[in-house]
Amino acid sequence: MGISKHHSVVTMPQTEHPYPSILSFLSMRFPAIPRETWEKRISEGKVLDEKTGPITLDSRYTPLNRLFYFREVSSEPDIPFAEKILHLDDEILVACKPHFLPVTPGGRYVNECLLNRLRSSTGIEDLVPLHRIDRETAGLVLFSVNKISRGRYGTLFMNGHVEKTYQALAACLPTQETASWDVENRIERGKPWFRMRTAPGRVNARSAINLVEVKEGRGRFILHPLTGKTHQLRLHMSGLGFGILNDRYYPELQDECRDNFGTPLQLVAQKLRFKDPLSGRIRDFTSDRELLW
């Protein structure tokens, strides 16, 4: 049994009367977890509110109040690759994540995630990631250390003021010449739920994609996501006919299987560049993780 050492939080949203029971709310909010599991956790005192401690099955649903719980999984995969801290000061931490490691707890992963590994290695319990990259993607992730300044740094990502650079490898014809594309479309959640799709409607995803080198039937690409939709670069590359090497979701969803650590997705979040909202100086961070070029 894998049990998180750190609590997770969910807020009960404002809703119309009659309010659901907390058990019904948790079952609807987390459909992958059986109702009986939530009932057992509540009965064992493993779900808490922010004022009175453990709740009971009779506790009332209170809109905008938070619930605290500890994620549990029957078994947790071991990710045999290490992260690296590239920078740490009183405001931010910059880490380089290996392939296969999620940024935050989710699914089968509780303690095997970048956030909880960094909490353990640094002793900083108040770490919060300011953005996400896919579990399959390696590279840079920026964390807030100080909750007082957290909003200032978070706003950089919300307003598109962080310059993000990725590298990727994809199959190319030997005759393919270097080229550039500006991709703009709409990305929405598809089926199954973890896979995204393009859809008609207002544009919400933009990427600048550059093929910079071709050799031995493969191309090396420099990618600049101008927005931050889930799987954006993977979907945009696939849409151009350049599915990223070892991508199990795009262009076709592969059969579910255990991770093959010898064939990581050939996508790395290589650089982050932004103007520091406190000091005003330019901050520039680069990952040294390499692709199989």
Task: Kindly state which CATH superfamily the domain 2-73 is placed in.
Answer: RNA-binding S4 domain (3.10.290.10)
| Beta strands 267-275 and 138-144, pairing class | parallel
Task: Give the pLDDT confidence score for residue 33 in this predicted structure.
Answer: 86
Tell me the pLDDT tens digit for each residue of 70-120: 888 777 889 999 999 999 999 999 999 999 999 998 878 888 999 999 999
Task: Give the pLDDT confidence score for residue 3 in this predicted structure.
Answer: 76
Q: Band the pLDDT of 2: cuts 50, 70, 90.
A: low
* Most confident stretch, 12-26, 28-42, 138-152: 138-152
Tell me the pLDDT tens digit for each residue of 132-149: 999 999 999 999 999 999
For residues 226-236, one letter each, b for 16 or more C-beta atoms within 10 angstroms of the residue's C-beta and e for the rest, the string is eebbebbbbbb
Tell me the pLDDT tens digit for each residue of 154-195: 999 999 999 999 999 999 998 899 999 999 999 999 998 889
Q: What is the mean pLDDT of the chain?
A: 94
Task: Give the pLDDT confidence score for residue 287 in this predicted structure.
Answer: 97
Task: Give the pLDDT confidence score for residue 36 in this predicted structure.
Answer: 94
| Beta strands 205-215 and 179-189, pairing class | antiparallel
pTM for this entry: 0.85
> Do the first three CATH levels of 2-73 and 84-162 match, i.e. the same topology?
no
Task: Kindly state which CATH superfamily the domain 84-162 is placed in.
Answer: Pseudouridine synthase (3.30.2350.10)
Task: Give the pLDDT confidence score for residue 158 in this predicted structure.
Answer: 93
Q: Band the pLDDT of 1: cuts 50, 70, 90.
A: low
Tell me the pLDDT tens digit for each residue of 195-247: 999 999 999 999 999 999 999 999 999 999 999 999 999 999 999 999 999 99
For residue 5, pLDDT beyond 80: no
CATH code of the region 165-268: 3.30.2350.10
Domain residue ranges of the chain, discontinuous segments joined by +: 2-73, 84-162, 165-268
189: left (phi > 0), else alpha (psi -120 to 50), else beta? beta
For residue 285, pLDDT beyond 90: yes
